[in-house]
Structure 1
Amino acid sequence: MDLDVLNMFVIAGGTLAIPILAFVASFLLWPSALIRIYYWYWRRALGMQVRYASYDDYQFCYSYRGRPGHRPSVLMLHGFSAHKDMWLSVVKFLPKNLHLICVDLPGHEGTTRSSLDDYSIYGQVKRIHQFVECISLNRKPFHLVGTSMGGNVAGVYAALYPAEVCGLTLICPAGLPADTETKFIKNLREIKESENSDRIPLIPSTPEEMADMLKLCSYVRFKVPQQILQGFVDVRIPHNDFYRKLFSEIISEKSRRSLYDNMSKIKATVQVIWGKQDQVLSVSGADILAKSIPDCQVHILENCGHSVVMERPRKTAKLLLDFIAAVQNVDNNKKMA
């Protein structure tokens, strides 16, 4: 073989080997770094840009895509111990010209965490209102989306600031009473009765506990490699003390029924999406909302658990887009009448 050709193959092989070896090393040794890179790449691929907004000495971190247009802007609030990137699986199926904002809730990811902050649902609503004012999102009514804890925050926000919200999508929201005991509530009760009171199913500290949490939150059984489970745990462990404090706040008397206490004040048109096999928050909450809020649209997804955004992202995106279009048509007809 010609020496130059041989050298070319050696160089090419070495060039390919370096990123492959780096990937394998990251996967085996630093899975948490690989997870961060994964989110960075996915945000970049979907055109989501990360920005920061300040209110006095408080900093909000958010990602966005698109610009305000004829359709309302969409603000998305994530669930407990998650972050803005949890919405990427849904963003993938939304049009690029739709103005989207995904914000890290107080204390999460890039948004300020302070021991002096109020992390009750009402405290979080106050902070999100500050964020909305910071980026002038409330120049005209916007569409608000929230899941789980973020659904509780979104619902109370719509009740307290009705002029700012034209449409509200609640995905398995917290803050409602339950007529049936879910697996999660049963686990909490059993843990409370045992000596291991610090063990909360939504705050894993080991790969095994992480796997249990995924099973609890999802009807679909995701096959996650042990290294990735370890990576998820490594990312979360430094924040677990905060998550425990936050959890105690949102299950307190002040917050646990806050959506229920405020739903009669909601003026926006409401859409509810819930996984029928939700083991965290009882799907009976959808019926409570439907009976209490006029013209509330309810979608119960078969073979789906609490993590609707991860399990059924395409369906969630379609339901959201159809709902936004329907609300806009109603508004346009009112203006023409």
Structure 2
Amino acid sequence: MQWHELELTRRSVETDNGPIAVAEIGTGPTLVMLHGGGPGASGVSNYHQNLPALAQRFRVILPDQPGFGGSYRPTEADLDARSITEITVDALFQTLDALDVDRFHLLGNSLGGAAAIGMAQTRPARVSGLVLMAPGGGWLSFGPTPTEGQKEMFRYYNGGGPTEKKMANFIRTMVFDHEQFGAEVVRARYEASLDESHIAFYHRYNAAFGKRHGMDPLWRELHKITAPTLLLWGRDDRTITLDGAQIMLRNIRDVQMHIFGNCGHWVQLERAREFERLVTDFLGELS
């Protein structure tokens, strides 16, 4: 079955600061999946190819994080008062409370990985299993920053604004073999990035990163994570590089890691079947 043949339940959940868009599919233990922070990202767009497999075993919840997809856009004042990770952690717990979800498995990539770490640190008893794919915030690079992928992300909406060529360049830095992602993929992601409110948010979001000198240093409190944790990383990731994973391996209590050769930042796309098997096996043992 293809993902577009699946019947997703979509809803909007009100939080203190604005609505959070949520898609849901499947039955079983709850698995909350958090998308990355690239232009045009959303819960369904980042994980749609994995849903036919994962929905067979889990109740999959796909929120759009604040600023992305159908969710509300944090203001400049919001981002001055709290980091994007703090805003997201608060909004997601409110969303899960509204959905009557108490304990859950949690998976996050990149910016969504930072939110996942923040959630697992803030309320560790609620997270039964944690999967982190090249997460921001928990990573401490030994190389130069910003990385190549981060630079490409930051320049996407600047210097004349978004174009299909810039989106192609962005995707090229996210993956190991960009030739498997053709013009249709580039065009779809480009078109998803053109929402004016998302563009305005992205400028505020990048400015806030500059003011805060990057993401929250979540690596300082990795010891607060109590959930069994699986790290998934592309060896050839040029955005959140593999060398930064060492601090997570040293400081998360119950941790294991799988490294994918010939793979970049989007493990769930480039190595989809292996990703699905590893996630299902790891979380299935905890359910």
Q: TM-score range by the shorter chain?
A: 0.7 to 0.9
Q: CA deviation at 1:96?
A: 2.3
Query: Closer, same or farther in 2 for the Cα pair 1:57/1:152, shift >3 Å?
Result: closer
- Give the match for residue 115 of structure 2: 153
User: What does the per-residue CA deviation read over 1:83-118, in whole Å, with 9 as the maximum and x for residues that have no partner?
Assistant: 011111121222425211010001211111242434
In the alignment, structure 1 residue 287 sits paired with structure 2 residue 217: no
- Work out the CA distance in 2 between the residues paired with 1:208 and 1:240: 17
Query: Closer, same or farther in 2 for the Cα pair 1:214/1:271, shift >3 Å?
Result: same
Q: CA deviation at 1:181?
A: 3.0
Q: Say which SS state the counterpart of residue 285 (structure 2) adopts.
A: helix
- Work out the CA distance in 2 between the residues paired with 1:134 and 1:283: 36
Q: CA deviation at 1:165?
A: 0.5
Q: 1:137 aligns with which of 98, 101, 111?
A: 101
What is the one-letter code of the residue matched to 2:141?
Answer: A
In the alignment, structure 1 residue 54 sits paired with structure 2 residue 11: no
User: What does the per-residue CA deviation read over 1:159-200, in whole Å, with 9 as the maximum and x for residues that have no partner?
Assistant: 001111111100010112200237x625767x9xxxxxx962
User: What does the per-residue CA deviation read over 1:231-257, in whole Å, with 9 as the maximum and x for residues that have no partner?
Assistant: 533331333232232233346537624
What is the one-letter code of the residue matched to 2:108?
Answer: G
Q: CA deviation at 1:65?
A: 1.2
**Match runs of 1:155-170 below 5 Å:** 155-170=117-132
Q: CA deviation at 1:262?
A: 2.5
- Work out the CA distance in 1 between the residues paired with 2:149 and 2:228: 35
- Work out the CA distance in 2 between the residues paired with 1:260 and 1:57: 27
> Contact 1:149 / 1:174 at 8 angstroms: preserved in 2?
yes
- Give the match for residue 222 of structure 1: 179
In the alignment, structure 1 residue 277 sits paired with structure 2 residue 239: no
> Contact 1:152 / 1:258 at 8 angstroms: preserved in 2?
no
- Give the match for residue 179 of structure 1: 142
Q: CA deviation at 1:288?
A: 1.5
In the alignment, structure 1 residue 209 sits paired with structure 2 residue 169: no
> Contact 1:147 / 1:171 at 8 angstroms: preserved in 2?
yes
- Work out the CA distance in 1 between the residues paired with 2:113 and 2:185: 28
Mean Cα deviation higher: 282-291 or 55-64: 55-64
More helix as a share of residues = 1
- Work out the CA distance in 2 between the residues paired with 1:144 and 1:315: 18
Query: Closer, same or farther in 2 for the Cα pair 1:167/1:215, shift >3 Å?
Result: same
- Work out the CA distance in 1 between the residues paired with 2:210 and 2:140: 12
What is the one-letter code of the residue matched to 1:284?
Answer: D
Q: 1:123 aligns with which of 78, 83, 87?
A: 87
Q: 1:106 aligns with which of 66, 70, 89?
A: 66
The TM-score normalised by the length of structure 2 is 0.85
- Give the match for residue 15 of structure 1: none
> Contact 2:129 / 2:228 at 8 angstroms: preserved in 1?
yes
Larger CA Rg, structure 1 vs 2: 1
> Contact 1:281 / 1:306 at 8 angstroms: preserved in 2?
yes
Please, what is the CA RMSD of the aligned residues? 2.7
User: What does the per-residue CA deviation read over 1:102-144, in whole Å, with 9 as the maximum and x for residues that have no partner?
Assistant: 1000121111124243452112111111111111111xx2101
- Work out the CA distance in 1 between the residues paired with 2:42 and 2:92: 14
- Give the match for residue 309 of structure 1: 268
Query: Closer, same or farther in 2 for the Cα pair 1:50/1:289, shift >3 Å?
Result: same
- Work out the CA distance in 2 between the residues paired with 1:159 and 1:254: 21
- Give the match for residue 200 of structure 1: 155
Query: Closer, same or farther in 2 for the Cα pair 1:317/1:282, shift >3 Å?
Result: same
Query: Closer, same or farther in 2 for the Cα pair 1:232/1:99, shift >3 Å?
Result: closer
- Give the match for residue 16 of structure 1: none
- Work out the CA distance in 1 between the residues paired with 2:184 and 2:277: 33
Q: Say which SS state the counterpart of residue 89 (structure 2) adopts.
A: helix
Q: Say which SS state the counterpart of residue 23 (structure 2) adopts.
A: strand
Runs of 4+ deviating beyond 4 Å: 41-44, 186-189, 201-204, 223-228
Query: Closer, same or farther in 2 for the Cα pair 1:251/1:83, shift >3 Å?
Result: farther
Gaps of 5+ in 2: none
- Work out the CA distance in 1 between the residues paired with 2:205 and 2:88: 11
- Give the match for residue 32 of structure 1: none
> Contact 1:122 / 1:255 at 8 angstroms: preserved in 2?
no
> Contact 1:250 / 1:256 at 8 angstroms: preserved in 2?
yes
What is the one-letter code of the residue matched to 1:122?
Answer: E
- Work out the CA distance in 2 between the residues paired with 1:291 and 1:258: 16
What is the one-letter code of the residue matched to 1:117?
Answer: D
The TM-score normalised by the length of structure 1 is 0.74
